[in-house]
Amino acid sequence: VYESRLRAGAALAQAYPADADLVTGVPDSGITAALGYAKAACLPFQPVFYKNSYVGRTFIKPKQSYRADGVRVKLNVIKEAVNGKRIIMIDDSIVRGTTSERIVKMLRDAGATEVHVRVSSPPFLWSCYFGTDIPQREQLIAYNRRIDDICKIIGADSLGYLGIDRLGGLVKGKKICTGCFNGVYPIEPPAGDIRGEFEQ
């Protein structure tokens, strides 16, 4: 997984370069891809977030208000590290987009002059039944939206996702599930939300 994330970051640097002062990763799963991006782009990597380890995954919380509160408690920005800087921020995915929007705003509030978001996965376009508890496609920010529209919603200066065609090379031919990216599931998905609808 570590090596695959490094390769994902390098692939993003190749596909989506940007003029910037530093590369950073959203803790924890975005950090390794950020290291791969920074090395491939010959840019410095710098941690700019400090994390409250006692807060769980925010995107799976049932209400938007809970997710927003979770992000505020979970991450903070080191202002001295970003003030006046052009930032390339790497994250492992964008699901609903609410977390990304808040993190970009946090970087800007801390003085970042530009925030370029790079995502080390393809866009989530389909529901996931095997780990990411998102029962409805309509809850996914990438569903029925263009990349430019997503970029505006999260407030970034630019946005780039890893191409789905790059996934096989990242894992050196190992079998992987791409259901949430292209709707092709390894087994037949359930007919409905078997756990009950999430509250909006």
- Please give the residue that has the higher pLDDT: either 66 or 124: 124
This prediction's pTM: 0.86
pLDDT (tens digit per residue) in 31-48: 999 999 999 999 999 999
pLDDT-based confidence at 65, cuts 50/70/90?
low
Q: Can you tell me the distance from the alpha carbon of 140 to that of 129, in angstroms, rounded to the nearest whole number?
A: 14
Q: Whole-number mean pLDDT of the chain?
A: 88
pLDDT-based confidence at 200, cuts 50/70/90?
very low
Q: Can you tell me the distance from the alpha carbon of 52 to that of 56, in angstroms, rounded to the nearest whole number?
A: 9
Average pLDDT over residues 81-110: 96
pLDDT of residue 66: 52
Share of the chain above pLDDT 70, in %: 82
- Please give the residue that has the higher pLDDT: either 84 or 60: 84
Task: Say if residue 100's pLDDT is above 50.
Answer: yes
188 alpha carbon, distance to own chain's centre: 27
